[in-house]
Amino acid sequence: MGLFFNSGTQEKKNQILRDIAIVNEALRKSATTIDNNGINRTTINSVNSILGGVMDNITRVSSTVQSMTDSQCTGFTVPWIDGKYIGIMTWLMSMSTVTNSIAEDFENYVRRGY
């Protein structure tokens, strides 16, 4: 019985890892775009396009983690953008911080009038 119970948890973890790989790659592309071009209208449009395409992945990661028990999440590490492994809850919190920071920087740029 334990084997079947764990397989559902492992499927969830595998899906989370697939989604995180997609999100991390999108964030690397966004960072490269910002580093190469600075913040301007074109950069904002490019980054919004890149990140808009992965919001479903971020939402799915969050929902899947919420469906897991604390013990299932304990010790579950995932790669951050730089490849270092961190806990899944830290990844979610860090992802929220990063996306909020990007949005705030873009909003400040827009408020200044392009």
Both tokens of 87, joined, read 């806990």
Burial of residue 61 (number of CB atoms within 10 Å: 0-12, 13-18, 19+): buried
Both tokens of 77, joined, read 């590490």
Domain extents in the chain: 2-111
| Strand (E) or helix (H) holding 19 | helix 2-37
Q: Is 83 left (phi over 0), alpha (psi -120 to 50) or beta?
A: left
pLDDT by residue for the chain (114 residues), tens only, comes to 455 556 699 999 999 999 999 999 999 999 999 999 999 999 999 999 999 989 999 999 999 999 999 999 999 999 999 999 999 999 999 999 999 999 999 999 989 876
State the CB neighbour count (10 A cutoff) for residue 7.
10
